[in-house]
Amino acid sequence: MLTQALFRALDKKAIWVIAIFLAVAVLVPMANLLIPPGQYGHVPTYLVSLMGKYLAYAILALALDLVWGYCGILSLGHGAFFALGGYAMGMYLMRQIGSRGVYGNPVLPDFMVFLNYSELPWFWLGMDNFWFAMLMVVFVPGLLAFVFGFFAFRSRVTGVYLSIITQAMTFALLLAFFRNDMGFGGNNGLTDFKDILGVSVQAQSTRATLFAATAIALALSVLVCSMIVNSKLGKVMIAVRDAESRTRFLGYRVEYVKLFAFTVSAIMAGIAGALYVPQVGIINPSEFDPANSIEVVIWTAVGGRGTLIGPIIGAIVVNLGKSWFTTTLPELWLFALGALFVFTTLFLPKGIVGLWHQAWGRMRRKTEHAERPAPPTPAQSADIERGEDPASFGHEAQPKPAE
């Protein structure tokens, strides 16, 4: 069954996406390490880290797309899962500092010495082991999503209500992690990392490796998502998105379908956070800011939700724009971001990918010289099957007034 799912997943366009990111995972580090600086084709180390950051964001956007684009759950709390994964990674990195901290304590991180801790809090135990920490990266966001989702979906908290309570969850976590006595470094967070798996996080080769790991993780995420959405479960997810009550009346356990999607998505977000932290070098409570979670939503929306490639494109494009704006026109960035939100929701409900399909469909129709038929064309049926709204192909993509 698994092989069948694998083949079905690889049968689609997804294989190209996976191949591209695997190639990127090899080529970029090579361009960084093997081509000497100054020569054509060399990728500077800072750029490798920056692109690694974007790819981590892309995983996060893909994770959100799995619940929002395919299952209709708009989570405004994915930033929290991302940050939790990041904190788990940060805790491991903190423990690796050892006695090289400012206070030279072999066990306690600096901020704990500063706050007069006598011993490690229980939740820091074992975080010096890499594999245990990686387990926590997966386990903590997964468990939170499972428990939260279990109760929320069981009591049929849907739509806007769910969005608002996920936002409340993020906000509560933001407040909690800002407290010094939580044992997570308060508002300074965790930073000043030294080693990862025995090698320096600052080293060029480590950065290249981290980039490769992120790119491979993204490729794997695409594979996993493709497997999910192309399976029968994926069809049910799309059914839940489009007509939840109807799906329930057909006999499906809607809450479990949603819980599955939500938990898998949270785990992906946690992994993205864990890959993000060593490349950026800091994790602090501002990652829990509800605004961040909403920003993730706009990446997904810009790229095109309900597609696998869309959120990746969206995350990379929006963050490229952010990097460009914040260096050249910092005061205009929020205008641009805000306008992006408004413009995308009004004119690009299917995102960049939808726009592409629209243009492609129009071109093809023109060559066929055919009127747009009332029943969906075979191509459209395939798209419907893949979970893409046929509305994005015709002129109906334009928003309609309320009446």
Partner 1 sequence: MLILRALRLVLLALPFLLLPSNAIRAQDAATDIPAAIQAMGEANLRELEQIVADLAATGSDTVVPVLTALGDGNLYLEETSGAVLIERGSTYLEPLSGEAVELGADADLSKIRVNNGLRRDIAAALAGMTLMSDSPARRLTAAQGFLANPDPANIPLLDEAIAAETDANVLKAMQAARAVTILGDDEQSVADRKAAVPLVASGAGRNALTILNSALNGAPEELAPTIQSAIAGLEQERAIWGALQNVWFGLSLGSVLLLAAIGLAITFGVMGVINMAHGEMVMLGAYTTFIVQLVIRQNFPGLLDYSLLIALPCAFLVTGAIGVGIERGIIRWLYGRPLETLLATWGLSLILQQTVRSIFGPTNQMVIAPTWMSGSTEFFGLSITYGRFWIVIFAIIVFLLLLMVLNRTALGLQMRAVTQNRRMASAMGIRTPFVDAMTFGLGSGIAGLAGVALTQIDNISPNLGQNYIIDSFMVVVFGGVGNLWGTLVGALTLGVANKFLEPYAGAVLGKILILVLIILFIQRRPRGLFALKGRAVEQ
Task: Choose, by CB under 8 A, the member of 151, 249, 324, 360 that binds partner 1.
Answer: 151
Q: Distance of CA 65 to CAs 27, 197, 216, 251, 393, Å?
A: 27, 32, 19, 25, 20
- How many other β-carbons are positioned within 10 Å of the β-carbon of residue 330? 9
Instruction: Determine, following the binding rule CB under 8 A, whether residue 245 of this chain makes contact with partner 1.
Output: yes
Q: How far is the CB of 22 from partner 1 (least distance, A)?
A: 33
Please say whether the beta carbons of 372 and 390 come within 8 A: no
Instruction: Determine, following the binding rule CB under 8 A, whether residue 253 of this chain makes contact with partner 1.
Output: no
Q: What is the size of the binding site for partner 1 (CB under 8 A)?
A: 48
Q: How far is the CB of 377 from partner 1 (least distance, A)?
A: 25
Instruction: Determine, following the binding rule CB under 8 A, whether residue 330 of this chain makes contact with partner 1.
Output: no
Instruction: Determine, following the binding rule CB under 8 A, whether residue 165 of this chain makes contact with partner 1.
Output: yes
Please say whether the beta carbons of 9 and 226 come within 8 A: yes
Instruction: Determine, following the binding rule CB under 8 A, whether residue 341 of this chain makes contact with partner 1.
Output: yes
DSSP, residue by residue, 232-255: HHHHHHHHHHH-HHHHHHTT--HH
Task: Choose, by CB under 8 A, the member of 19, 172, 199, 250 that binds partner 1.
Answer: 172
Instruction: Determine, following the binding rule CB under 8 A, whether residue 115 of this chain makes contact with partner 1.
Output: no
Q: Which is nearer to partner 1, 368 or 403 (CB)?
A: 403
Task: Choose, by CB under 8 A, the member of 114, 132, 139, 178 that binds partner 1.
Answer: 178
Burial 81-114 (b: 16+ CB within 10 A, else e): bbbbbbbbbbbbbbbbbeeebeeeeeebbbbbeb
Q: How far is the CB of 401 from partner 1 (least distance, A)?
A: 6
Q: Given the structure tokens 């692109």, which residue do they identify?
A: 51
| Residues from 277 through 296 that contact partner 1 (CB under 8 A) | 290, 294
- How far apart are alpha carbons 339 and 333 in whole angstroms? 10
Instruction: Determine, following the binding rule CB under 8 A, whether residue 79 of this chain makes contact with partner 1.
Output: no
Task: Choose, by CB under 8 A, the member of 157, 282, 355, 397 that binds partner 1.
Answer: 157
Burial 135-169 (b: 16+ CB within 10 A, else e): ebbbbbbbebbbebbbebbeeebbeeebbebbbeb
Judged by the rule CB under 8 A, the positions of this chain that interact with partner 1 are 74, 148, 151-152, 154-161, 163-165, 167-169, 171-172, 175-176, 178-179, 245, 290, 294, 297-298, 301, 331, 334-335, 337-342, 344-346, 349, 399-403
